[in-house]
Amino acid sequence: MFLLQSITEVISEYKQMYSIKFTLACGDWNLTPDEWLDRCPSKYDDHYYSLVFKDFMNNNSFIDIWRINNPLLKQFTWIKPNGSSRFIIDLWLLSQEIVNFVTNVSISALDRSLCDQNTEARY
C-alpha cells in the first residue's frame, strides 16, 4: 500500500532529522489489522493478519496499545448503520518507548450523528 510506505518514509526522515525517540501514529486507517478479531462478521475462522499493515507496524516498531491490552476482546470503533458489520479501523499505534506512559486504554463507537466515523478512542 503506497500510503503506508510514504508514511514510513516520513517517519524515518523525521527520526533522523530530529533524533525522535517517541513515535505515535493515530487515525482512521480504513483497514483491520486482524481480519478475524477486528471485523464482524469475519470470513475467517482464526486470526488472519493484514500483511501490509503488519509490515507497516514492524517497519516502524509500532505497537497497537489497545490490542496488546485486550488480546482477544471483540470490540469495534465503526459500526454499519444497520449493525450488520463492525470493524476496528481507528487505531493508536505507539513506539515501544511510549507504552510505559499509557495508564488506561479503551475504545467505543459513538453515535453516527456525533462523528463521521462514529468512533471514540481514549488513551
CATH number at residue 96: 3.60.10.10
| Residue 6 placed within a domain | no
pLDDT of residue 111: 65
> What pLDDT shows up at residue 78?
87
User: 113: pLDDT confidence band, cut at 50, 70 and 90?
Assistant: low
Please check the confidence at residue 119 and state whether its pLDDT lies above 50.
no
Please report the pLDDT score of residue 123 as a whole number: 45
Give percent of the chain with pLDDT exceeding 90. Answer: 63
Model-level pTM?
Answer: 0.81
Task: Select from 83, 82, 91 the least CA-distant residue to 119.
Answer: 91
Structural domain tally of the chain? 1
Does residue 11 fall inside a structural domain?
A: no
Domain with 96 in it: 23-122
Backbone angles phi, psi at 107, to 5 degrees: -135, 155
- Residue 13: pLDDT band with limits 50, 70, 90: very high
Assigned domain for 96 exists: yes
In this predicted structure, the answer to whether residue 106 has a pLDDT above a threshold of 70 is: yes
Output the pLDDT for position 67: 94
Domain membership flag for residue 10: no
User: What pLDDT score was predicted for residue 85?
Assistant: 93
Instruction: Report yes or no: 25 and 62 within 8 Å, Cβ to Cβ.
Output: yes
Confidence at 30, pLDDT banded by 50, 70, 90: confident
Q: What is the mean pLDDT of residues 11-30?
A: 91
Considering Cα of 32, then 29, then 95, then 6, what sign does the dihedral take?
A: positive
Q: In what order do the strands lie in the sheet with 90-95?
A: 24-28, 90-95, 62-64
Residue 65 lies in a domain: yes
The one-letter code for the residue type at 108 is: S
Residue 72 lies in a domain: yes
Whether 15 is covered by a domain: the verdict is no
- 106 in any annotated domain: yes
Task: Please report where in the chains the cell 493508536 appears, as a residue.
Answer: 92
